[in-house]
Structure 1
Amino acid sequence: MRLERKMEAKESGKLSEAYPMKSGDGPYSYAKTSVSQKVVIDFTKQLMNKEVGEKLDIGFSSSSPPEVFSIADLGCSVGPNTFSAVENIIEAVELKFETLGLTSIKPEFQVFFNDHTSNDFNMLFKSLPPNRRYYAAGVPGSFYGRIFPEASLHFVHSSFAVHWLSQVPEEVMDKSSPAWNKGRVYFSNSRDEVIKAYKDQHQNDMEAFFKARAEEVVCGGLMILIILGIADGIHPSESGGHRGFDLIGSCLMDMVEKGTVSEEKFDSFNIPTYLMSPHEFEEAVKRNGSFTAERIQVLPHVKVNGASLTAQQVTNCVRSTLGELIKQHFGEEIVDELFDLYLKKVEEVHPSSIAEADKTLSFLAVLKRN
């Protein structure tokens, strides 16, 4: 895997960095550690059925729906969650056809799995469900730019992906900037200038995201997103998810003091994520103007098998998402020691303060193309 800057959004000329999840099927792989994300995806299935049944409007009234129904999952990673999401979408669309009495003209389904070029598409394709009811294709590229032909998609899905920024804000890396984020790896407890740099980067990214999707989604098509975010009106430092990132910084600082990591390396590392609030998301939709927000709903904290995540599970989950990023910046030799420290710190603060904090949340957004 390589962490790389690529010109992946040709039409916008936008550089986008790649942040791959941990591939393979080992204990720290995204496929093994993303169980809580799957629980949320499964929880939203009934909501999706309702929204597709009521809001999807792509020629049903004229009894001439598309013969091929195109679905894109943005930020698909390596599975298995993307396959669950796609199956839920297909079931919802088929139910819509049945409800309208169009069972004799059900479409064929084309599914496009999208992620950065550095994503492990080989593993994704090897683990495709053998009895799938759709044609599968991989589409590499950043979703912050155009990746599909104009008006070619009927349904866009993405879960737990749009909180990744296209890049670390340049100002926080600039020693001459008031937003230089020295001594920290995230913005939650930083100066106002750092917070503003992250906010501005996020706003620019969402503008690019909606501009691209507006060109790719057909009128009456749907976009359903599951977004990792924070509650409206709170300071970033109050978010449990942000505290989890701050713990990474605390562990790295310990390693700087020990001499394992250089201070210069530490000061040049920043985590490129931004957890937006539902209000921030709604404002981004309004600024674009091409979609109607049919539903924005905060989701409850859903436990895996009815139990809270353990400190080890929280640590494995963070390692699967940030491990490759850390390895590329600091070298593979520090990763085990770093996450051993992280586990101890999570145990000290209690894992639920990170995984289930009231001010860290997931929300469902249902958007219809105008």
Structure 2
Amino acid sequence: MMTGSFPMNGGYGTYSYAKNSQYQREASNVVKEMINKAITEKFDVKNKIATSRTIRIADLGCSVGPNTFIAMQNVIAVVEKKYYSQVLPSEKLEFQVFFNDHISNDFNTLFTSLPVDRQYFVTGVPGSFYELLFPSSSLHFVHSAYALHWLSKVPEKLLDKNSPAWNKGKIHYIGASDEVRNAYAAQFEKDMENFLNARSKEIIAGGMMVLIMVGLLDDFQPSETSTGVTFNFLESSLMDMVNGGLINGAQVDLFNFPIYVACPKEMTMLI
């Protein structure tokens, strides 16, 4: 499966992800207690840990930090607390964390900014999380935050001038025709099916997966969201540039954001 590559800006510059990911960090903090509660109540530390007492954790769509380091340390702290309170306090656990993102992700920045006091082994896993990334039954815990709204690619129908979903003059499904939105929804459905099938093979029986996703309330219009407003402003600005002769209109016609925001009904159906 051919996938697009949409990595976040690397490095530590003004427009880098490291300097512009406070929103994602705060949003993750909102659900932190929910994750802690799920691990405490449902993660089986007694029967699902190999004799090596090594917990293998993957963060899919890790980008360059620091958010991924904060999330992984939180997961490890809660798992350790549960293990030492319920199993053998004298038996030390080991953790191996797999940081995954696109091949073109800035892994150099990721690794050079690793916490010096981390208490886990580190492995980088480049590749699309819409495909298999790990051996069968090799992961105990999978985490992904604010990554699954990125599609594997722009829906092909949007680029076909003979298709009802040809998205001329627009850059997203917000404010576009039903055919365009349906093409986005179909691509999201295909991507999620691939994602869930891959994880079902990689995670051990009784393992856990936590997905933090951008969401849309059921029956809520995308144009009413902050994302919708942003896309509409950007689309309008690009068309102003076309009208001013600064860029070619054909360039806008071929440009579509590979982003889809699902609602709870859709996710329930897909799962």
Percentage of matched positions with identical amino acids: 48
For the Cα contact (< 8 Å) 1:48–1:92, is it kept in 2? no
Give the direction of change, closer, same or farther, for the CA distance of 1:147–1:64 in structure 2 (3 Å limit): closer
- For 1:17, give the aligned amino acid: G
1:112 partner SS: strand
Cα distance in 2 for partners of 1:208, 1:61 equals 28
For the Cα contact (< 8 Å) 1:97–1:106, is it kept in 2? no
Deviation at 1:105?
2.0
Greater strand share, 1 or 2?
1
Alignment of 1:26 onto 2:9 = no
Give the direction of change, closer, same or farther, for the CA distance of 1:215–1:281 in structure 2 (3 Å limit): same
Q: Pick the aligned partner of 1:97 from 79, 83, 97.
A: 83
Q: Which residue of 2 aligns with 1:112?
A: 98
Cα distance in 2 for partners of 1:98, 1:49 equals 15
Give the direction of change, closer, same or farther, for the CA distance of 1:271–1:62 in structure 2 (3 Å limit): closer
- For 2:162, give the aligned amino acid: S
Q: Which residue of 2 aligns with 1:50?
A: 37
Query: Which residues of structure 1 form unaligned runs of 5+?
Result: 1-13, 286-370
Q: Which residue of 2 aligns with 1:11?
A: none
Deviation at 1:258?
1.3
Give the direction of change, closer, same or farther, for the CA distance of 1:25–1:63 in structure 2 (3 Å limit): closer
1:228 partner SS: coil
Give TM-score scaled by structure 2 length: 0.96
Cα distance in 2 for partners of 1:156, 1:62 equals 14
Q: Which residue of 1 aligns with 2:261?
A: 275
Q: Pick the aligned partner of 1:140 from 126, 148, 162.
A: 126
Deviation at 1:246?
2.1
Q: Indicate the larger mover: 66-75 or 233-242.
A: 233-242
For the Cα contact (< 8 Å) 2:98–2:124, is it kept in 1? yes
Q: Which residue of 1 aligns with 2:148?
A: 162
Q: Pick the aligned partner of 1:150 from 133, 136, 159.
A: 136
For the Cα contact (< 8 Å) 2:48–2:207, is it kept in 1? no
For the Cα contact (< 8 Å) 2:222–2:228, is it kept in 1? yes
Query: Which residues of structure 2 form unaligned runs of 5+?
Result: none
Q: Indicate the larger mover: 241-250 or 24-33.
A: 241-250
- For 1:105, give the aligned amino acid: E
Alignment of 1:82 onto 2:68 = yes
After superposing on structure 2, the runs of 4+ consecutive aligned residues of structure 1 that deviate more than 6 Å are 62-65
Cα distance in 1 for partners of 2:180, 2:132 equals 29
Give the direction of change, closer, same or farther, for the CA distance of 1:251–1:107 in structure 2 (3 Å limit): same
Deviation at 1:248?
1.5
Count of residue pairs brought into register by the alignment: 271
Deviation at 1:250?
1.2
